[in-house]
């Protein structure tokens, strides 16, 4: 009699672990995914910064964005994220 369980074999267990790791990577936090990089065909020209004013829930916070140059010479900048209402270190 053959076992037809998805995780009953070594190959099924390996596929389950690979699928789990893929899903964890896709569900990564947005801040962790937002690095200062450009697409493959573009060049990083500069990294702009913006300071968020302090409020009673967090100190001054600095945001970053990447500005990339396309092959035709045009420079485009990514959008700044919104200033967090609470301290990002307190949320984790």
Instruction: Please tell me the predicted confidence (pLDDT) of residue 4.
Output: 55
Average pLDDT over residues 17-31: 51
What's the token pair of residue 69? Answer: 């140059």
Instruction: Please tell me the predicted confidence (pLDDT) of residue 19.
Output: 62
Interval 30-88: pLDDT, tens: 444 456 889 999 999 999 999 999 988 889 999 999 999 999 999 999 999 999 888 87
Instruction: Please tell me the predicted confidence (pLDDT) of residue 16.
Output: 60
Instruction: Please tell me the predicted confidence (pLDDT) of residue 49.
Output: 95
Question: How much is the pTM?
Answer: 0.54
Instruction: Please tell me the predicted confidence (pLDDT) of residue 41.
Output: 92
* Domain definitions of the chain by residue range: 7-31, 37-83
The single residue listed with the structure tokens 């959008």 is 79
- What gap in Å lies between CA 37 and CA 26, rounded to an integer? 18
What's the token pair of residue 55? Answer: 């409020």
pLDDT exceeds 60 at position 5:
no
Instruction: Please tell me the predicted confidence (pLDDT) of residue 28.
Output: 42
């Amino acid at each position: 009699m053959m076992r037809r369980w998805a995780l009953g074999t070594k190959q099924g267990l390996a596929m389950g672990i690979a699928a789990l790791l893929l899903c964890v990577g896709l569900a990564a936090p947005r801040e962790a995914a937002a690095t200062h990089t450009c697409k493959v065909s573009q060049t990083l020209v500069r990294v702009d910064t913006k300071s968020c004013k302090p409020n009673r829930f967090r100190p001054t916070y600095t945001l970053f964005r990447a500005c990339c140059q396309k092959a035709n010479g045009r420079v485009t900048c990514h959008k700044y994220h919104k200033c967090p209402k609470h301290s990002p270190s307190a949320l984790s």
